[in-house]
Amino acid sequence: MSEIKVITNMLKVNEEINVQNRRMLTEKGVYTINLMSAPGAGKTSILEKLISRLKGDLRIAVVEGDLYTTKDAQRIEAHGVPVVQINTEGACHLDASLIKDAIDSLNLNEIDLLIIENIGNLVCPAEFEVGEDIKVMVSSTTEGNDKPLKYPLMYEKSSAIILNKIDLTEFTNFDKQEFYKDVKSINADAVVFETSCTKDSGIDEFCLWVKNKIDENKAKGC
């Protein structure tokens, strides 16, 4: 079989399992976010902040994708929510079948919000739907403002873009105007939140947006 055929087949299989996951999660009333970013942008820190704010209102569970370690899962577990760890042993993204195994091990009847922390990588996590309702990405000022044009797919597919480490902007040559202009050219519908986890800013706005998304989804009856 040619390489092209293998890849097409892989994406086809992924899409089938994505649809199954999505159906299962929807049936159980679980709202699911696929959280993506480059390594070190702040996914886990954002997640910790979100959990501590929303866990009183929503039953939250987390799937932690990581290449080799359980470091992030331990941080999340400390917040008292169920965590399933997936170690990909070097594979650079999560796919639908890995998420299928993870959700099989969770009690979906007791979850309102499932967050999947994907592998730190700006490329292929955006290519594999895993059963999520929406994708959210974290982009940080220290990565530079050129990332939307260099890695457009993730920006294009994300409903919200969290611009993190906003407190460090003055120490970088990050050009906010350029960033917003490029994001808009790729995805005019994306909502952008400026956050700092160390200064604890912008997180409330993001959490409110997530809550509204869940409410809207419930109102639609799905």
| Binding residues for Zn ion (CB under 5 A) | 92-93, 124
Whether the CB-CB separation of 136 and 33 falls below 8 Å is answered with: yes
The residue (of 72 and 182) whose beta carbon lies closer to Mg ion is: 72
Whether the CB-CB separation of 102 and 87 falls below 8 Å is answered with: no
CB of 67 to Zn ion, least distance (A): 11
**The only residue of 33, 58, 72, 154 in contact with Mg ion, by rule CB under 5 A:** 72
**The only residue of 43, 49, 147, 213 in contact with Mg ion, by rule CB under 5 A:** 43
Residue 143, binding choice from Zn ion, Mg ion, none, Cβ under 5 to 8 Å by partner class: none
**The only residue of 21, 32, 37, 44 in contact with Mg ion, by rule CB under 5 A:** 44
> What distance in Å separates the CA atoms of residue 161 and residue 194, rounded to the nearest whole number?
9
Indicate the residue type of 70.
T
Stretch that binds Mg ion, among 49-57, 65-73, 160-168, 177-185 (CB under 5 A): 65-73
The residue (of 44 and 196) whose beta carbon lies closer to Mg ion is: 44
Residue 124, binding choice from Zn ion, Mg ion, none, Cβ under 5 to 8 Å by partner class: Zn ion
Indicate the residue type of 43.
K
The residue (of 43 and 135) whose beta carbon lies closer to Mg ion is: 43
Which residues have a Cβ under 8 Å from the Cβ of 187 and sit 6 or more positions away? 155, 156, 157, 158, 161
Segment 181-186 long-range contacts (CB within 8 Å, at least 24 positions apart): 182/145, 182/148, 182/149, 183/148, 183/155, 186/148, 186/149, 186/152, 186/155, 186/156
The residue (of 121 and 196) whose beta carbon lies closer to Zn ion is: 121
Stretch that binds Mg ion, among 4-12, 70-78, 176-184, 203-211 (CB under 5 A): 70-78
# residues contacting Mg ion (CB under 5 A): 3
The two structure tokens encoding residue 150: 């260099």
The continuous run of DSSP H or E covering 65 comes out as strand 60-66
The residue (of 72 and 194) whose beta carbon lies closer to Mg ion is: 72
Residues contributing to the site for Mg ion (CB under 5 A): 43-44, 72
